[in-house]
């Protein structure tokens, strides 16, 4: 098999970081993104100085004038991606920390397996069952919910996992990778995701579309990268509003 050069593939990657305040968390995220990819912060009308942060890290900022929700940011990032010559798009919450090697592993597995959507392994509160670290590394003497351990865990995965990936039928939306082939599943001509799903249910919808067209079979359309760990703080910019529909998740800014 031909060796994949990390620096070369990273130049074909666009990373969209979605944010809504919690600027210190966004700073942590940007610090951990390696050089090479095109990085754009898509911001949902933060009142904190996101402009100065993006200037500090020399990354592009696309900021909404008023809050429109997470799905709008995802749709905007995907449409911008289509206008570039990039091959891969990684959409990530701002409350993610990437240890060294985690993004590169995702890209390498994406290239080799060519899924519709790919996701990493993460800590227990931050993702669903099949992407949880404790499903693959058991009885480790480390607190996976402490961000200080992210690099050790990433290195352990690289050392211990005999398989680099597994197939599934769902990928969580906190951090996921797609390519242009996902376009066949778009909601309409101008949106990949249904705009009425303001903050949640967006990845659920896409995964259902992929399963529907793929005959609901578990297969190569969904890939979990077993050699990529990311730390997810989980739900820092949203909270549930009682007696509301799930689609009306209220974002606290």
Give the integer Cα–Cα distance in Å for 176 and 171: 7
**Chain centre distance of CA 88:** 12
Second-level CATH architecture of 6-251: Alpha-Beta Complex (3.90)
* Mean pLDDT (whole number) for 196-206: 93
- Provide the whole-model pTM: 0.90
Task: Break the chain into its structural domains and give their ranges.
Answer: 6-251
In total, the chain counts a number of residues equal to 253
CA-based nearest residue to 62, from 89, 78, 44, 48: 44
Give the integer Cα–Cα distance in Å for 73 and 65: 12
Q: What pLDDT, on the 0 to 100 scale, is given for residue 249?
A: 45
Share of the chain above pLDDT 90, in %: 75
Of the pLDDT bands very low, low, confident and very high (cuts 50, 70, 90), residue 241 is very low
Q: What pLDDT, on the 0 to 100 scale, is given for residue 140?
A: 77
- What are the tens digits of pLDDT across the range 47-80? 999 999 999 999 999 999 999 999 999 999 999 9
CA angle 66, 54, 41 (to 5 degrees): 55
- What are the tens digits of pLDDT across the range 101-144? 999 999 999 999 999 999 999 998 767 778 999 888 877 788 88
3-state class of 148 per DSSP? helix
- What are the tens digits of pLDDT across the range 8-30? 789 999 999 999 999 999 999 99
Tally of CB atoms within 10 A around 59 = 17
Give the integer Cα–Cα distance in Å for 122 and 144: 8
For the CA atoms of the chain, what is the radius of gyration? 17
Give the integer Cα–Cα distance in Å for 208 and 215: 10
Q: What pLDDT, on the 0 to 100 scale, is given for residue 142?
A: 84
Give the integer Cα–Cα distance in Å for 69 and 45: 9
Structure tokens at 38: 């095109």
Q: What pLDDT, on the 0 to 100 scale, is given for residue 129?
A: 79
pLDDT of 237 strictly over 70: no
pLDDT of 240 strictly over 50: no
pLDDT of 46 strictly over 70: yes
Q: What interhelical angle do 70-82 and 202-213 show, nearest 10? A: 50
Ramachandran sector of residue 69 (left: φ over 0; alpha: ψ -120 to 50; beta: rest): left
pLDDT of 251 strictly over 60: no
* Mean pLDDT (whole number) for 212-233: 84
Q: What pLDDT, on the 0 to 100 scale, is given for residue 84?
A: 96
The dihedral through the CA atoms of 171, 109, 61, 92 has a sign that is positive
């Amino acid at each position: 098999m031909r060796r994949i050069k990390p620096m070369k593939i990273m130049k074909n990657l666009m990373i969209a970081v979605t944010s809504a305040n919690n600027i210190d968390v966004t700073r942590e995220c940007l610090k951990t993104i390696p050089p090479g990819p095109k990085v754009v912060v898509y911001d949902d009308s933060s009142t904190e100085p996101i402009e100065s942060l993006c200037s500090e890290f020399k990354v592009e900022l696309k900021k909404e004038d008023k809050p429109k929700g997470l799905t709008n940011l995802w749709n905007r990032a995907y449409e911008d991606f289509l206008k570039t010559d990039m091959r891969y798009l990684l959409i990530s919450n701002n409350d993610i920390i990437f240890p060294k090697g985690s993004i590169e592993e995702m890209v390498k597995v994406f290239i080799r397996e060519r899924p519709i959507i790919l996701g990493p392994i993460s800590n227990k509160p931050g993702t669903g069952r099949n992407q949880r670290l404790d499903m693959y590394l058991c009885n480790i003497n480390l607190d996976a919910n402490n961000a200080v351990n992210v690099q050790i865990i990433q290195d352990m995965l690289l050392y211990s996992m005999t398989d680099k990936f597994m197939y599934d039928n769902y990928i969580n939306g906190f951090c996921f990778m797609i390519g242009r082939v996902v376009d066949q599943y778009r909601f309409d001509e101008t949106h990949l995701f249904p705009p009425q799903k303001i903050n949640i249910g967006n990845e659920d919808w896409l995964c259902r579309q992929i399963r529907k067209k793929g005959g609901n079979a578990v297969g190569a359309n969904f890939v979990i990268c077993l050699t990529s760990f990311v730390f997810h703080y989980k739900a820092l910019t949203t909270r549930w509003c009682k007696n509301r529909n799930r689609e009306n998740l209220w974002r606290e800014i």
